[in-house]
Amino acid sequence: MARSVKLLNLVKHLSLAENHSLTKKECLELLCVNEKEFEIICSDLKSLVFGACVNDEKISILRSYEPLDEDLLFRKSKGKGRVCVLPEIDSTNSEILRNIDSYTDGDALLAEIQTQGRGRRGRKWSGSLGCQVLLSCAAFFDRDIELSALPLAVGLNVASELEKAGFFGIKVKWPNDLYFKNAKIAGILIESVVRHENVGAVIGIGMNVFPFEDGSLALQKREILTLADINPHKAHRNFVAYTLISAIRQACFVYKNDGFAAFKEKWPYYDYLLGKKILVNDDVNKTRGTCIGIDESGALLLNADGILHSVKAGHVEFL
């Protein structure tokens, strides 16, 4: 933890410096570290900050870094719950799951660095320091509430709230991703633990705010895009963070009271897969067809030569 704090402190000083650049001597004095410690910090800087430059003369970064402001996020986030920002953690989802009894409904946990961030199917969620918002929220549901469509409800509400905030054109890709044009901008991972009195759900989201590789290369590959690609004037990490927290809290509140039915009418507008020919692989069966929407439970509906298929889970591939 101390190591990540020193790295964040260096990035903060570089952000405030002219041309985001400092000499090695200036860095040593500002950080109060020795040469060996500084080498380790610089190694972390090069691996975690896209475009960081380290040489004998100077240390620099490409753009200023906006740290997450815990107090601001608490004041600006709508709904009930606490907000905590950590410099580093393995995974915000894992941290809440480990200590679920210490969390209350609506609590949000954010981290500047996640060393073991993950998405669905165990995939690693990676990025660059200061380029994303990585957070998890705790929510508690009665044990008789079906949570299978909760990722869709959260995705829909996040897309809707981001649209209100000025990020237009975001779609929801069943079952748990947000897309802009042909590229992913966010992933949602919901994990749960059954307790005696209720079910504790952890809603994690990783949102790309700024590019963390060469922008032209990303556009060419169409693999990832960011909120800055949609609206660079609104792409501020704290603004995005409290918008996400508010959207997740609201989605969970509505879902508890009205279920997925309260969200379903929005689906056609935000449906990224609608009309696309796809294959859904659930590790047992592979279902091919043209996406025609979802049913009342949130299951994906595919039309294969006039035969209707309903798929409840799986990985989507495009044909």
Q: Between the CA of residue 139 and those of 48, 53, 202, what are the distances in Å?
A: 31, 42, 6
Task: Give the pLDDT score at 283.
Answer: 85
Task: Give the pLDDT score at 51.
Answer: 81
* Residues β-bridged to residue 281: 286, 315
Closest CA to 86 of 102, 100, 68: 68
Helix (H) or strand (E) holding 269, with range, is helix 267-270
Domain boundaries, the chain: 2-60, 70-267, 273-318
Handedness of CA 263, 264, 265, 271 (dihedral sign): positive
Task: Give the pLDDT score at 49.
Answer: 85
pTM over 0.95: no
Task: Give the pLDDT score at 284.
Answer: 86
Task: Give the pLDDT score at 126.
Answer: 56
Domain 70-267 coded CATH 3.30.365.10: no
Helix (H) or strand (E) holding 163, with range, is helix 150-164
Same fold, 70-267 and 273-318: no
Residue 21 CB burial class (10 angstroms; 0-12, 13-18, ≥19): middle
Helix (H) or strand (E) holding 179, with range, is strand 177-180
CA angle, 284 then 294 then 241, to 5°:
95
- Run means of pLDDT, 10 residues per run, the chain, 319 residues: 83 91 91 90 86 87 92 98 95 95 97 76 63 96 95 98 98 96 94 92 96 54 82 97 99 97 96 96 91 95 93 92
* Residues β-bridged to residue 170: 180
Task: Give the pLDDT score at 216.
Answer: 43
Residue 168, sorted as left (phi over 0), alpha (psi -120 to 50) or beta, turns out to be beta
| Contact by Cβ (8 Å): 317, 281 | yes
CATH-assigned architecture of domain 273-318: Roll (2.30)
Closest CA to 104 of 76, 133, 137, 75: 137
Residues in CB range of 172: below 8 A, 6 or more apart: 152, 155, 156, 159, 178, 179, 267, 270, 271, 272
